[in-house]
Each structure stands twice: as C-alpha cells, then as structure tokens.
C-alpha cells in the first residue's frame, strides 16, 4: 500500500511520459520535514519558511512517528480556503502522509505560497514557500475569498516574506 501511494503521488511525472520523466536526485529537493514532539502536543514544518528557485522540486517527509500530516495549499479549491498562492498557480493537497511517507511537488509560478496541515492548522502547523522573486508579486494577505478563514495562530506562525528573502530558510524559533 505504501509503495502504491508513493507512486500515485508522483504520478504526474510518470504520466508526462517515460522519455521526459527523470527522478530528481536527492540533493535536488528542497526538503520540508513534518515534525512533532514525543507526546504529540507540538507539531510543525521544518523549515517553516523557505525560498527556492522556480522548478526546484520540493519534498515533504513525515518524520513524526506519532502523527499523520498533510501539506495543503491555501486555495478556494481546497476546502474553500482563502487564496494564498500566486494567481494562476495550481493548488495542491498531499492528503494524509503516514510516518516516513513523502510528497513531491514542483512549483514554477513565482510568488509566495502558504500551506497548512489539515489536522494541525489550529496548532499553528503552517508553512511558507517563496518561489523566485516575490517582488514581482504582492505577498498574500487577508482576502475575502474562501469561506473558511485562517485562524490567528496559523497566521502568526508564518514567517515574514522579508525574513525568508534575507535568510533563505527560516526555522521555527
Ligand atoms: Cu500535521
């Protein structure tokens, strides 16, 4: 089951055709880990903020033995959430990752992308990815789109765009 789900999650690359398909090398991935403490009272993405070049693949890995996690874009097509990815970019939802499962994604539209973990958004488990140069695109802010607003704890957990730009990678304090 686990290997089949892995194949499904990388299916977009496979469907592109074997001639065009190439599995990225491990060090080509921008890594985002899903972590939790021993008693499950604290969960987070590490790093919580990262800047990458357009087209560099991202890999989320659930390294929390005690929890399932998701990486889900804030987008009206994901549970009617506010739009917090660049206009024209495709939303994603990893679905639930069991411990040691991974999810791969490649983003090519430049801008700021905010995402959350479905079961732990209210614990502040959110993250921010900057692709390329966000100066061309305004940072996401509160919008009227999406019926399900983002809780304050999640908004406060997102690192500032300028901090990510300055440091390249932001880990939780
Ligand atoms: Cu989670």
Ligand 1 center to residue 125 CA distance, Å?
6
Instruction: Please say if the pLDDT value at position 49 is more than 50.
Output: yes
Give the Å distance between the CA of 100 and the centre of ligand 1. Answer: 13
Dist. CA 69 → ligand 1 center (Å): 4
Number of other CB atoms surrounding residue 58 within 10 Å? 20
161: part of which helix (H) or strand (E)? helix 161-167
Cβ-based neighbours of 87, under 8 Å, separated by 6 or more = none
Q: Each residue of 76-123: pLDDT tens digit?
A: 999 999 999 998 899 999 999 999 999 999 999 999 999 999 999 999
Which has more pLDDT, 28 or 9? 28
Instruction: Name residues with Cβ closer than 5 Å to ligand 1, which is an ion.
Output: 43, 69, 117, 120, 125
CA 31 to ligand 1 centroid distance, Å: 16
pTM given for the model: 0.83
**Confidence band, pLDDT 50/70/90 cuts, at residue 23:** low
CA distance 123 to 58: 23
98 CA → ligand 1 middle, Å: 10
pLDDT at 40: 86
């Amino acid at each position: 089951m686990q290997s089949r789900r892995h194949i499904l999650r990388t299916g977009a690359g496979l469907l592109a055709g074997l001639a065009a398909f190439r599995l990225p090398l491990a060090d080509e991935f921008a890594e985002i880990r899903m972590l939790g403490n021993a008693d499950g009272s604290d969960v987070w993405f590490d790093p919580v903020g990262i800047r990458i070049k357009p087209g560099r693949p991202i890999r989320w890995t659930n390294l929390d033995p005690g929890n399932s996690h998701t990486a889900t874009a804030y987008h009206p097509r994901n549970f009617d959430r506010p739009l917090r990815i660049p206009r024209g970019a495709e939303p994603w939802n990893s679905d639930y990752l069991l411990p040691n499962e991974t999810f791969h994604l490649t983003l090519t539209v430049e801008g700021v992308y905010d995402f959350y973990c479905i079961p732990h958004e209210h614990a502040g488990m959110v993250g921010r990815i900057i692709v390329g140069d966000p100066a061309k695109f305004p940072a996401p802010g509160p919008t009227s789109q999406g019926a399900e607003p983002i809780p304050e704890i999640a908004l406060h957990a997102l690192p500032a765009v300028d901090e990510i730009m300055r440091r390249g990678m932001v880990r939780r304090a």
